[in-house]
Amino acid sequence: MKITKGLIEQHIHGAFGIDFMKSDVKEIIFASELLAQNGVSAYFPTVMTDDVELIKERIAIIKEAKKQQTPKSAQIAGIHLEGPFINPEKSGIHDKKYILPLEIELYKKIDDDLIKIVTLAPELDKTGEFINYLTFRGVKLSLGHSMGVDLKGMSQVTHLYNAMGAFVTRGKSSVLSALTDDNIFTEIIADSVHVSDEVLKITLRQKPIEKILLISDALPLAHSEKKEHIFAGQKIYNNNGKLTNADGTIAGSSSLLVDIVKNLADKNLLPFDKIIQTASENQLKYHKLNNNLKVYWNEDYTINKVEFI
C-alpha cells in the first residue's frame, strides 16, 4: 500500500450531480466532503463565463461555503475564474453573449480576494493594463480559451491543447509557447479523452515534471448517475464517459483527479510518485498550500482510505 499527500484540484466545475454555477452552500459543502473521500485535500471551484451578476452571486455563495466547511472536507483554496475575459474564437461551450473585453472596470465588478486564478485571452489586452492590474492583485493568470502566443505575464496555461492555438510546424501557437517555456505551468486533462495517450507521452517528456498540473475539469456529471445536465446554458450528454454538447464539442470531464491518477498509473505513462507530484506536490508548492490529508492507495491505484491530519 502506498501513502501520499492529498490531491489538489485547481480546475473543477462540479461533480456528484452538483454544479458550482447553480449549487447552494449546503451542496458545495457536501461536494467538499465527497471530494475528500476521493483523495482531494483542497480545490478551486471553477466559475465560468456568465452574466456578471450571476458570477458575483456564485462567488458570494462559494465564500460562504468556505466559511462553513468542516475539517473533514476538501478545503476551498480559492476560486478559479474561467472567463468571461476570453477569446470568442476559442469559446468552446462558454456562452459567447457573456464574454467581456479585458477592461479593468469590468473586472472590478466581480473582483474578490477569493479569486486566485483567472483564465483569460491575453492577446485581447492590447495595452497590458488588464494583465498588470490582475498581477498587482496577486492573481495567477492563465492563458486559456485563447489564440495568443505571448505568455508574458502568465503563470500557467489552462487545459493544454484544449481551446487554444494548436501545435504547428511553422510559426507560433499557444501550444508551442506552453511546451517550450519551462517557466510556465501547464494544466492538462490526462483522461485520455481530451488528449490522446500519444500526446500525453510527448508532453510528459517535453515539460519539466515540476511544471505539470494535472486537473480534471470535471463537470457535475462526473461521478453521477445522471446522463445529461444543463451546463453553460446547453444540454451536456455523457456518452460512455465523454461529455459533449449536442454539436459534439467536448465539454469538460466525467473524471475526477483520482480517476486521472489511476488512468496514468494503469497505462504506465508515468511512475506513480511522479503522477502524485503532478496531482499534488506541484500544486501545494505553486499555491503555497498546507496538506491536511493522507491518502492510502491499493495496489490497483484505487483509494483504500483517507486520513485527515
- pLDDT tens for each residue of 27-58: 999 999 999 999 999 999 999 999 999 999 99
pLDDT digits (tens, 9 = 90+) for 48-100: 999 999 999 999 999 999 999 999 999 999 999 999 999 999 999 999 999 99
Section 19-34 average pLDDT = 98
Whether residue 74 contacts residue 39, with contact meaning beta carbons closer than 8 Å, is answered with no
Give the number of other Cβ atoms within 10 Å of residue 215's Cβ.
29
- Model pLDDT for residues 276-305, shown as the tens digit of each residue: 999 999 999 999 999 999 999 999 999 999
2-308 is classed CATH 3.20.20.140 = yes
pLDDT of residue 255: 97
Res. 166: pLDDT tops 90: no
> Cα–Cα–Cα angle for 22, 25, 31, nearest 5°?
80
User: Under a CB-based contact definition with an 8 Å cutoff, are residues 278 and 10 in contact?
Assistant: no
Burial of residue 107 (number of CB atoms within 10 Å: 0-12, 13-18, 19+): buried
Which among 75, 182, 196, 81 is positioned nearest to 137, based on CA atoms?
Answer: 81
| Average pLDDT value for residue range 111-131 | 97
Residue linked to cell 474561467: 82
Q: Which three cell numbers stand for residue 110?
A: 466581480
| 121: pLDDT strictly greater than 90 | yes
φ, ψ of residue 123 to 5 degrees: the values are -65, -15
Contacts of 11 (CB under 8 A, 6+ apart): 44, 46, 80, 82, 158, 159, 187, 215, 216, 217
Read off the pLDDT of each residue in 124-143 and give the average, rounded to a whole number.
97
Q: What is the distance between the alpha carbons of residues 116 and 205, in angstroms, rounded to a whole number? A: 29
CA distance 302 to 140: 32
Where do the domains of the chain lie?
A: 2-308
pLDDT digits (tens, 9 = 90+) for 179-236: 999 999 999 999 999 999 999 999 999 999 999 999 999 999 999 999 999 998 999 9
